[in-house]
Structure 1
Amino acid sequence: MNDDDIQQRRVDALKALVGKYKTKAEFARKYGIEPSYVSQLLGGHRGFGEKSARNMEEKLGLPPNYLDQGQGGAQGDYAIGNVKPAYEPPTTRKAPVISHVQAGGWSEAIDIFAPGYAERWEPVPETACPNAFWLEVRGDSMTAPAGLSIPEGYLVLVEPGVQEENGSLVVAKLDDENEATFKKLVIDGPNKYLKPLNPDYRTITINGNCRIVGTVTEVKMKLR
């Protein structure tokens, strides 16, 4: 089977899954996918390569290579003997774990399924905004000696659609930095600051030199 045949199988399988919803937009909202991306795949205007297929399966909570079975495979889960149980859409959404460099340009990102955008996905609440993402904490600037502390290696869920306020933990992109930074937002009258939880690090004054990428709404530790 050549690559064109496999890509067509993936399109057919995706059509079968999307067909379980009233509209493509409803399907896309359910799993936090850009509706335009779904339309491009189904219309053949975008290639449905190996990495895109595996990312889509991860996003939808499907087994690896599930989409390669085509429309017939999408009618059920794994084939066991001659029995194929009816497919039930998963209820757990997932969001990508991205790098600090990717986070810096996230608000401009249109296609989160672009090759290389994310090799890893983690569950998020159903209420999370469609373009939410996970960011792994690096360094010890948010490690505090007392009170709230978020050490290196923790995952933070960033939601660009949640309005930040005084005391919010935020991911911000400084104009003179290539990467995003994770800090506490402090608003004091007309003044705003990005404050690390670790007192050994300096507080950054916001004076038009940065933009808020998103608000952190959840923190978790990944042991494995």
Structure 2
Amino acid sequence: MKKTIGSRIAFYRRLRKMSQAQLAEACGWASQSRIGNYERDTREPSVDDVMAMAGVLKISPAVLLGFDSDYTSLTAVHGRDIRTEFDSNVEVALQPTRSFLYPEISWVQAGSAMEAVDLSNVAAAPRHSSDVWAGENGFWLRVVGASMTNPAGANSFPEGSLILVAPDIEPRHGQYVVARMIDSNEATFKQLVSDAGDLYLKPLNPLFPMKAVDNTWEIVGTVVDGKMPKSIFL
């Protein structure tokens, strides 16, 4: 367990791949300096601020405050007995009330790099919600084809699935990405894997080939959330 509330805020913020500014904006605060002060432990957050940050970071407020999971050591904070607030907040952690709307764009737009999320291009696009922060330029794509359908069933993205792409998040080995061919603007959804120092775009369906990431490719963004097609649940 991190020793101070500031170190815990910083830890879970980085775990969610959010900057201080992004966390502040998601909490509805005008400046990131509040987050900076909290993380440096130069300012003690109020209970309401703890609950706001916990909601965005998808954890229990008790975790940020360093209490045991059974709350046996939980006592009054800032003059308030918040055991009942934390108990009720367990449900909030499972069903976050804070969500973000992002446009669903076309694969043609996704292949157009920076123009993909231009407001003039997506004004009429359908929007879908997510409790995951994908940045100001985040967008949804609908999966086409069977290259990311895993025959084994695990970690599969069948045709019709929605994926949320965060253009500002740098991908790591094993994460899912959308990449585009620079010359043709053709976009594709694959898993980014590293082997002997080289990067590859790997399909989950073994019937499709793996492609090396060379100077003809550009990573558009990292996939941070997904929704299965409704037909799966019918």
Does 1:148 find its partner at 2:143?
Answer: no
- TM-score by length of structure 2 reads 0.53
Question: Post-superposition shift, 1:148?
Answer: 1.5
Q: SS at 1:166's partner residue?
A: coil
1:204 to 191, 206, 211: 211
Quote the offset at 1:202 in angstroms. Answer: 0.6
Q: Could you say which structure has the greater relative contact order, defined with CA pairs below 8 angstroms and 6 or more residues apart?
A: 1
Alignment match, 1:109:
115
Deviations 1:47-101 (A, max 9, x none): xxxxxxxxxxxxxxxxxxxxxxxxxxxxxxxxxxxxxxxxxxx954210000011
Q: How far has the Cα of 1:117 moved from its partner? A: 5.3
1:136 is aligned to 142
Deviation at 1:141, TM superposition (A): 0.4
CA distance in 2, matches of 1:164, 1:152: 23
CA contact (8 A) 2:149 2:204 kept: yes
Q: Is the 8 A contact 1:98 1:117 kept in 2?
A: no
> After superposition, what is the alpha-carbon deviation per residue over 1:33-56, rounded to whole angstroms, capped at 9, x for unaligned?
xxxxxxxxxxxxxxxxxxxxxxxx
- Helix, strand or coil for the counterpart of 1:218? strand
Is the Cα–Cα contact under 8 Å of residues 144 and 159 in structure 2 kept in the other structure? yes
What amino acid is the match of 1:137? V
RMSD, aligned CA? 2.7
Aligned-partner SS, 2:201: strand
Q: CA shift at 1:128, angstroms?
A: 2.5
2:120 counterpart SS class = coil
Q: Which runs of 5+ in 1 are unaligned?
A: 1-25, 31-89
Match of 1:218 in 2: 225
Structure 2 unaligned spans of 5+: 1-21, 27-96
Quick one: distance in 2 between partners of 1:182 and 1:126? 19
Cα distance between partner residues in 2 of 1:209 and 1:222: 32
1:175 and 2:182 equivalent?
Answer: yes
Kindly provide the CA deviation profile for residues 171-218 of structure 1, in whole angstroms up to 9, marking residues without a partner as x: 000124332100011111321110110100011111211010000011
- The answer to whether structure 1 residue 187 and structure 2 residue 194 are counterparts is yes
CA contact (8 A) 2:132 2:224 kept: no
Q: Is the 8 A contact 1:97 1:118 kept in 2?
A: no
- Provide the C-alpha distance between the structure 2 equivalents of 1:188 and 1:139, rounded to a whole number of angstroms: 26
Equivalent-residue separation in structure 1 for 2:116 and 2:195 (angstroms)? 34
1:102 match: secondary structure? helix
Is the 2:140–2:163 Cα contact (8 Å) retained in structure 1? yes
Aligned partner of 2:167: which letter?
P
Match runs of 1:154-169 below 5 Å? 154-169=161-176
CA deviation digits over 1:92-126, x for unaligned, max 9? 421000001101124x2386321555420101226
Distance 2:117 2:218 in 1: 21
Deviations 1:121-171 (A, max 9, x none): 101226331110000000000011112211100000000111101111000
Structure 1: how far apart are the matches of 2:186 and 2:123? 15
Q: Distance in 2 between matches of 1:126 and 1:194?
A: 24
* 3-state SS of paired residue (1:114): helix
Secondary structure of the 1:138 match is coil
Determine the C-alpha separation between the residues in 1 that align with 2:194 and 2:173. 5
